Amino acid sequence: MKNLFFFSLLLLTLWACNEGQDANLLEQETISEIEHPPGETHVHEDHVETYITDANGNRVIAPQRAFEVVSETLTSRATTNNPHGLAAAIHSPYSSNAETHPSWAPPGHGVYWGGNWAVDLWRDNGNQNADYGWGTCNQNIYIDAKSIIFPGGQQAQSLKARLVSHGYACASRRYADGGLAQKWDIIATYNGVEYRIGWVLYAHLSNVMYPTVDTEVSLSSPAYIGKAFSGNIYGGCWGSCHIHMEFGNYQKASCFDIMPPTVNIDRVGIVGGLANTTTNCPPITSNLAENSVNCIRSSMYNSNFNCDKAHDGNLNTKWTSNGSSQQSSMAIDLGSVKSINKIVVKHAGAGGEPSYLNTQHFKIEYSNSSVWGPWTLAEEVYNTSQANESVIYQNFNARYVHLYVVDPGIDNYARIPELQVFGN
**pTM score of the predicted model:** 0.64
* Strands 59-61, 48-53: pairing kind: antiparallel
Contacting residues for 290 by C-beta, under 8 A, at least 6 apart: 311, 312, 313
Contacting residues for 6 by C-beta, under 8 A, at least 6 apart: none
How far is it, in rounded angstroms, from Cα 290 to Cα 84? 22
Instruction: List the beta bridge partners of residue 120.
Output: 244
How far is it, in rounded angstroms, from Cα 238 to Cα 256? 23
Contact 340, 423 (CB under 8 A): yes
Contacting residues for 336 by C-beta, under 8 A, at least 6 apart: 399
Q: Which domains, ranges and CATH numbers included, belong to the chain?
A: 14-272 (no CATH), 288-423 (2.60.120.260)
Q: Give the end-to-end CA distance of the chain in Å, rounded to a whole number.
A: 47
How far is it, in rounded angstroms, from Cα 98 to Cα 92? 6
What does the pLDDT profile of the chain (424 residues) look like in tens digits?
434 333 343 333 334 444 445 444 443 332 323 333 333 333 333 333 344 444 455 544 333 322 333 333 434 567 899 999 999 999 999 999 999 988 899 988 989 999 999 999 999 987 777 777 668 999 999 999 999 889 888 889 899 999 999 999 998 888 888 999 999 999 999 989 999 999 999 999 998 887 889 999 999 899 999 999 998 766 657 778 999 999 999 999 999 988 767 888 989 999 999 999 999 998 887 789 988 889 999 999 999 999 999 999 889 999 999 999 999 999 999 999 998 988 999 999 999 999 999 999 999 999 999 999 999 999 999 999 999 999 998 999 999 999 999 999 999 999 999 999 988 8
**How does DSSP classify residue 310?**
G
